[in-house]
Every structure is written in C-alpha cells, then in structure tokens.
Structure 1
Amino acid sequence: MSKEALQQAIDRIAAGTHTDQDLELYNNWCNAAQEQQSPMPADFPDRQQQMLQNIESRIKGKSYRKLIIWSGVAAAAAVLILYMSGGFFSVNISSKQPSMPYNILATEKGQQRHITLPDGTNVWLNAASHLKYPASFASTTERRVELTGEAYFEVAKDKEKPFIVQSRDQEVKVLGTHFNISSYSDDPLVQTTLLEGSVKVNNQITLEPGEQTLLDDAGKLTIRKADTAMAVSWKKGNLEFRNENIYGIMRKISRFHDIQVIYEGHIPMDGMNGNFALRQSIPEILEIIQTTSLLRCRQEGRKIYISKF
C-alpha cells in the first residue's frame, strides 16, 4: 500500500468519515508493521485517541465473533478488534512498550466455537464466553491463556511449556490433558472438571480423571466426584443438570436464548434433574419445567415470569 493511501485512511478514521475499506487498509498496515517494524505516520500518535473514539462509536452495538488483537506495532501498542460478521475493526493505542501480539476469540449468546491454538491445543468455547491467547507460543516459557465463561480443552503435550488457564480467581496448570472449565461471572462457583490426564488447580489440588473442583467467591476450593458426561454435555448441544435449582437452570438457558427472567414472589429452591436440547424453543423448555409442579412459567415477548406453583 502507498503511504498516501494509508495517510488518507488515517485522516478519515480520525475525522469519523471512514469506511470499512479504510479499516481494512489500516489493519493490513498494522499486520505488516508488526512483522517488519515499519514506522508509523508522523502525526499518528497525536490522533490515536480520536481514532479510537470514532471507531468505537461506529461499532457500538455490533455483535462480534472473533477479536484479533495486536500489540507492539512500531513501538506502540495497537489493538485491533476484528468483527468477523460485519468486517469492523477497533483501534486502541496506549502503550509505549512493545509486547507480544495476542488474539481473543469471543462468542455471543447461542454461539459455540472451536479453535486450534498455535501449539495444537484444541478449544471448544461455549456461549457468551471469550478466550485470550498469544498469537504464538514460540518465544514463551509457558502457554498461558485467559478464559471468561466456559471452555473445553484438549491440550497438546509439551513438557517444556506448561499450559495454564487463568480464569476467575483461578489458575489451572497442565502439561497435556482434557478438561472443562466453567467460569461465568454470574455463577456462584468456578467448576473445573477433568476427563483425562492430570491438572493442578491454584497449586492446591491435583485432579484425577472423573474429579471436579469448586471454587467459591470467598476463595474456598473443594473437590468432588464429577459426572463428566454432564459437565461437557453442552459440547453435544445439550443441557444436562442434576439437583440444580431454577436460578442455575435459567442462567444456563439465558446464555442460549435472548430472554430476561423475572422471578415473582418466593421461589422454591428445590433441586431438579433434567436434560434439554439447547436449541429447543423457550415454550418447550418452560412446559418441561412446569411438569415438576414446583413452578409456573409464562412468556411475554422476551420476558419470562417464574413464580411458585
């Protein structure tokens, strides 16, 4: 690309009159700059904040699927967010220190994604989740990723570089194994379930296959036997639960359907057992819940009202 074309694209981004093509051009320049340490335009640092504001305004309210984040471009940290469904980018430039580029894979409600990380590790990401990981593990001494939400990992073995998953107040360290972590911010517990191999949770508990740790908001870590098939049922498009109250059940359902749940009066906390297909319609799910004779459910548009039977 020519310097003139790049400068014109930056001018339009800073003025708020840019097109998707301008953003794509800028993204290509950042990718090239990351690899070649290309110099940035002279007036670029002075215009960074205005560019960020204009692009954020443009993409506000847009749904995203994958975010690609680069840092260390021309001795300044440039962050690009790629909106795969609409081709939108966001730019955030703030740091003066070069650092490693990293990616973020994100899912919306109702979405699930699979990705193979640079080391060969396979990750299945559940709905309303995101995973941050380096663009390459080549220059690292460990393979560290960050998870919000839920994911299932099949970690590629590398004895020289432990694989570490950082989530809500928790670190899980492995060399090569299969496990599931559920770490949604609105759940009372972070659950780590081991299917194969061995993992260490917060340097306190080493799990064996068929075991699960529970971490509460107070930092208390406990271990129990797990139903591994139930823990990863979401990978097969199902929601299985055992002895779970309605609040926990509806939180999970809400991650796959655009609904608002409203509880009326005293709600029984009895545990329920069940199995839904995640793609079942809300009326079908509510009808099943009502067969327990514990709760009444009614739907008004997006709103779901739940009361004692």
Structure 2
Amino acid sequence: MSFTDTMDQEKLYALLAREMAGILTTEEAEDLRQLLQQYPDASYIREVFSQNWTPAGKQYSPQQVQQLMEKHQQRLQQISEAEPYTEAPEPRRHWGWYSGIAAGLLILLALGGYWRYGQQKKTPVVLSQLVTDKRMRSQILLPDGSRVWLNAGSKLDYPPQFAAHQPREVTLEGEAFFVVQPDAERPFRVHTKTFQIRVLGTSFNVRAYPLEDSAVASLVQGSVEVVLNDASKQVVSLKPNEKLTVPVHPATEQTENIVAVHTPLVIYKSKLTTLQDSIITETAWVQNKLAFKHLQLDKVVTMLEQWYGVEINFSNNRKKQLYFTGVFESESLEEVLNALETTLSFSWHKDADGKIWIN
C-alpha cells in the first residue's frame, strides 16, 4: 500500500521522529495511531525506527548529517532519471513507497544522530553550595544579583549561572532570607522538602530545617506563591506581612502488608510577629538579633542550639511547654539563659562534662 497523500507521509515521519526522541504528546500519539491504522505497512517503519541504529562509539555531527542527506537525494535523482515511469507501473508504486521509507528512515536516523550528538555536547550543571555550621551566619550574592542571608546550620544549592529564559531555581535546607531581583522572564523558585516558593521579585524568609516539626514561609515585600510538595500540590498565595506554617510529618515506615495513610495537612496562614521597635521575629536573625515571642521553651532551645552551637538537654520534659518572649543581640548563652531563668519557671546548670541541662 502506498501513501495517497504526501502530507500524510511527512506527518508520519515527523511523528515517528518525535516518538523516537521521547517527546510525543498525547494528541500526537493518537494521530500516529490513526496513521498506522490507515497505512498498515508503515508499522514496519516504526519497528525499524525503534531499533538502536547508531553503532557504539559512532555519532554524526550536523555537517555529516547534511552530507548524508545530499548523497541520498542524488541517488534518488539518478534512479528517477534512469528508469522512466511508463514501464512496470505497479512495481514503481512500491518503489516510490520504499524509497519514501528510505528517505524517511535516513531523515530519522539523521535526527536521531543529531539528537545524540547534541546530548553528548550537554555538560551536567555542577551546582555551587553555601553551607553554614552552627553559630555561623552568612550571605551571598547570586549570579542574577539576588541576595541571600543564610542562617546557622543551613545549606543552599544554586547554579553558577542562571540560564536565559528559564526559571531561576535554588534548593534550601535550613533557613534563609531572600531579596530577589525582579525578572519577569525568569521567575525565582526556592525548593525545600516541604514546599516550593515561586516569586518574581520580592523579599521573604524561609525556615525549613529537616528535624523541625514545621516549615514556615514569611513574606516581607512583594508576593509569592507557596506550592506544597504533598499529593495535593495546593497553592497558597501570600501577601506582605503574612506567613504560612506547614506541619511536617515524620516519615512513616511501610511494611509489605501495611501502607501508611496520611491525613490531609492542616496549614496555617497568619501575620508576621512584631516586638519592640518593630522587630519582626521571623527575620530578626538577619540583623543578628535573636528574637521570639510567646514561643515554647523547646523551640527556644532549638534556636539557642543553632545560634550558639551547643547542645541543651531537658531533665524535666514538662518544662518544654513553657512560653517565653525575648530579644537578644550581643548576649552570651549564659546571659540569655539567666535572663529567661529570672521568670522563676525553670533553672539550669552545666554538668561536669560541660553539658547544659534545664530543670
């Protein structure tokens, strides 16, 4: 059977090329299925195309592809001139069909060779990384001019250069404050294990430490969208002076017969917390201030451990539920603990090994 329409032939070759490259859309797959039903003989071409036709170690450059195409066209032209169409019409229709197959096959081989050639040319992007230990805070200017402050015990992965016309993407573990340069063509995205933040240009804070029971996105200026990483893919828009708190469930083990079922996340949107002199507790650390308002003592202790690089233990777990408010800037750890101890709600001491205990 031969093609009755040259456009059908060209469309088939194009669809098979896209299928071979792995970029066929659902709509195109349906078009290909209908063409293969209409021209059953074309299924053979598809089978041939599915084979690995590029010998190991042999790749075609764009110049070689062009030369192969030109030589093939010359051979087809010579055959057409040597054999007039008035003789043996039926076989010639088959020859036209098979020469079309050959031409299409060469085109797809050329495309495949060119695609593999291009793939070989691509070099994996090696990400840069900024890491801060406990007691350390750092800042960095990203390649696009955006500035990032990184809190203690955090890690930021980012590319040495952001690609043109592509989203600017970084990955955060820990806490960071971002001031993003506006760029409508390249939206900025921050990835964490709990959510993704999408933004054009603004300033915001992200706290997503791996061992904490929640992750928080706090917006200071501009607007952002927070996209949850769970199955819901829920999108939450934030306005200035708003923050979103997302509970983080610990990983649940799965056995062969029991599969964990997670309840839907209950997320919280609220206003940023302010203290004296308009200090915002969520971003005070950027100004080297340790600030918290009506915060449970176990969470305050977590902040102190990160801030001062120490380990603090509880000898009385009931003390974890106490709430405290405070702002500290240049005080030592002992001075902070002594200030909190004046509430007479707990005491603290350091043992012979230098470990700190809250009683």
TM-score range, shorter chain: 0.5 to 0.7
For the 8 Å contact 1:199–1:207, the answer to whether it is kept is: yes
Give the counterpart of 2:242 among 211, 214, 219: 211
- Following superposition, the deviation at residue 164 of structure 1 comes to 0.4
Question: Is structure 2 residue 229 aligned with structure 1 residue 177?
Answer: no
Q: What's the counterpart of residue 66 of structure 2?
A: none
Question: Is structure 2 residue 319 aligned with structure 1 residue 273?
Answer: no
Q: What's the counterpart of residue 344 of structure 2?
A: 293
- 1:62-77 aligned at under 5 Å gives the runs none
**Bigger Rg over Cα:** 2
Give the letter for the 1:272 counterpart: F
Q: In 1, Cα distance between the equivalents of 2:180 and 2:158?
A: 13
Q: Deviations over 1:188-222 (max 9, x none)?
A: 11111100000000151110000000010144322
Count of residues in Structure 1 that have an aligned counterpart in Structure 2 = 212
Q: In 1, Cα distance between the equivalents of 2:354 and 2:176?
A: 27
Query: Structure 1 residues 273, 183: CA separation in 2 closer, same or farther (over 3 Å shift)?
Result: same
Q: In 2, Cα distance between the equivalents of 1:150 and 1:302?
A: 28
> What 5-or-longer segments of structure 2 have no aligned partner?
1-121, 228-233, 250-264, 275-279
Query: Structure 1 residues 281, 145: CA separation in 2 closer, same or farther (over 3 Å shift)?
Result: same
- 1:1-309 aligned at under 5 Å gives the runs 98-139=123-164, 141-202=166-227, 204-218=235-249, 219-227=265-273, 229-268=280-319, 269-277=321-329, 279-300=330-351, 302-307=354-359
- Following superposition, the deviation at residue 167 of structure 1 comes to 1.1
The 3-state SS of whatever aligns with 1:176 is coil
Q: In 2, Cα distance between the equivalents of 1:258 and 1:295?
A: 22
For the 8 Å contact 2:169–2:190, the answer to whether it is kept is: yes
Q: Percent identity?
A: 30
Q: Deviations over 1:36-64 (max 9, x none)?
A: xxxxxxxxxxxxxxxxxxxxxxxxxxxxx
Q: In 2, Cα distance between the equivalents of 1:105 and 1:122?
A: 13
Structure 1 or 2: larger helix share?
Answer: 2
Give the letter for the 1:112 counterpart: R
For the 8 Å contact 2:129–2:155, the answer to whether it is kept is: yes
Q: In 1, Cα distance between the equivalents of 2:267 and 2:159?
A: 28
- Following superposition, the deviation at residue 244 of structure 1 comes to 0.7
Superposition RMSD on alpha carbons, in Å?
2.0
- Following superposition, the deviation at residue 162 of structure 1 comes to 0.9
Q: In 2, Cα distance between the equivalents of 1:265 and 1:118?
A: 48
Q: Deviations over 1:134-182 (max 9, x none)?
A: 1111246111100011100000111011100011211000000000001
Q: In 2, Cα distance between the equivalents of 1:126 and 1:299?
A: 26
Q: In 1, Cα distance between the equivalents of 2:175 and 2:315?
A: 29
Q: In 1, Cα distance between the equivalents of 2:162 and 2:317?
A: 51
Segments ≥4 residues shifted beyond 4 Å: none
- Following superposition, the deviation at residue 102 of structure 1 comes to 1.4
For the 8 Å contact 2:164–2:186, the answer to whether it is kept is: no
Query: Structure 1 residues 175, 201: CA separation in 2 closer, same or farther (over 3 Å shift)?
Result: same
The 3-state SS of whatever aligns with 1:149 is strand
Give the letter for the 2:171 counterpart: E
Q: What's the counterpart of residue 29 of structure 1?
A: none
- Following superposition, the deviation at residue 130 of structure 1 comes to 0.8
- Following superposition, the deviation at residue 270 of structure 1 comes to 2.4
Structure 1 or 2: larger strand share?
Answer: 1
- Following superposition, the deviation at residue 302 of structure 1 comes to 3.7
Q: In 2, Cα distance between the equivalents of 1:165 and 1:302?
A: 39
For the 8 Å contact 1:260–1:302, the answer to whether it is kept is: no
Give the letter for the 2:327 counterpart: N
Give the letter for the 2:143 counterpart: P
The 3-state SS of whatever aligns with 1:275 is strand
Q: Name the TM-score, length of structure 2 as normaliser.
A: 0.56
The 3-state SS of whatever aligns with 1:186 is coil
Give the letter for the 1:216 counterpart: P
